[in-house]
Amino acid sequence: MVGIGFSSCAEDDVTTSEENTSENTENLPSITGYPIVGTKQTLSYNNNIEISKPSVGEDFYGQNSNYPGKQPSYIDNGDGTITDQVTGLMWSQTTDLNGDGRIDNDDRMTLAEARNGASSFALAGYTDWRLPTIKEAYSLILFKGEDPSNYTGTSTNDLVAFIDTDYFHFNWGDVDNGSRIIDAQYLTTTEYIDYTMHGDETVFGVNFADGRIKGYPISIQGSEREYYVAYVRGNTSYGENNFVDNGNGTISDEATGLMWMQDDNGDEGLSWKEALEYAENKDFAGYTDWRLPDAKELQSIVDYTRSPETTNSAAIDALFNCSEIANENGETDFAYYWTSTTHATMATSSNSGSSAVYISFGRAMGYMNGSWLDVHGAGCQRSDPKMGNPDDYPEGHGPQGDARRIYNKVRLVRTK
């Protein structure tokens, strides 16, 4: 179906493929399970700007830079594939799938085309390629990126993507053909089990231009939407949790090697700084090394088979307890949860670090056309200001009016 080209080119509106069931393990590291790759966020921030890395006991200690996790490690195999030595996954290196030497809108596919294309994709002699799940695709995100959503220029030379462009061939949105610079959404097989907007069937994707997971429409008014595609092979257990209830208010995930608090912090929402302090001072179940999870750690416990509308629950395994909230539409819902990861922007030096990443375990609310809706799906990843007054955003923020709550919930983690 597709050829392979190699391009040096570098917010959004817009389960694994069953065709390849046998796996060729040649040139794959012998890694199974669900190892979480670090975010590669080495810079530190206060509520607004970059700061020196905090030490224990100092304000803003406990953020992502203090707990870097497993460092990303890739091998360029020289044949159009990249091997991730942490996850055991092998990726197609470029989204230039029509082989014309450019990454542009001509390379985009509908969900049906991307699923079907996996069965005939034969890059580097391998035939067991598949369209990734959302957890597989999110393993590639790196929060050394800077969100250019408010960028009004045309040159992309100084933009920093949320994927390692030393290994992966990436390009920004195809502005010459009507896209925005931030239109670099990558498809996955993970469909939302509810609907977004006004009844759109929805698939989750990762945007490596602006650093978010959102639910994107599969089609609008009968017209199928197209997105970028990267295929993957190897470690078919990646993204599968193995939870154990320890009987002491903690849940272990044997797949990732992380231990979680079974409960969140309760009824009170916290600012980002308060969330860091809460985590660093927590003594629970005999452990004092709790921390605020980074973005990829927290996303690892999303259960994309659950949602408030479909299962009357948060998008998380039933072993966990989630405090209920009333959302902006007055519905019983579940919260956004802070991570330790700053969502850096290209903004001025006075506020480039003013937002932090959260995961929505309930409806991802937005204000559109005069009403509040689930615009991006339970399990999406967006960002909130680290401090401020939610009342300043009566109609949300951004193209889809993302609800800004600022005071979000917390679920702590530790390494077993």
- Tens of pLDDT, residue by residue over 62-95, are 999 999 999 999 999 999 999 999 999 999 999 9
Task: Specify whether 150 is located in the same domain as 4.
Answer: yes
Q: Note the pLDDT of residue 193.
A: 97
| pLDDT at residue 14, rounded to an integer | 39
Do 212 and 260 lie in a common domain?
A: no
pLDDT of residue 152: 87
Is 201 within the bounds of a domain?
yes
- Quote the pLDDT of residue 23: 57
- Relative to beta strand 185-191, strand 202-207 is antiparallel
Residues 225 and 342 placed together within one structural domain of the fold: no
Q: Does 296 reside within a domain?
A: yes
Give residue 226's pLDDT. Answer: 97
Same domain, 229 and 249: no
Which residues are bridge partners to 223 per DSSP? 220
Last residue of one domain, picked from the residues 189, 221, 240? 240
Domain boundary among 206, 240, 274: 240
Same domain, 214 and 284: no
- Structural domain count, the chain: 2
Give the number of other CB atoms < 10 A from CB of residue 139.
27
pLDDT of 154: 86
* Residue 228, strand partner residues: 186
305 and 348 fall within a common domain: yes
Q: Give ∠ CA 122-128-134 in degrees, rounded to 5.
A: 110
> Which of these three, 212, 240, 268, is where a domain ends?
240
Question: Does residue 60 sit within a domain?
Answer: no
Q: Which domain holds residue 106?
A: 1-37+72-240
Here the tokens at position 347 are: 């903004």
Asked, for residue 193, whether it belongs to a domain, the answer is yes
43 part of a folded domain: no
| Ranges of residues in the chain whose predicted pLDDT is under 70 | 1-26, 349
pTM of the complete model: 0.93
- Residue 10 has a pLDDT of 37
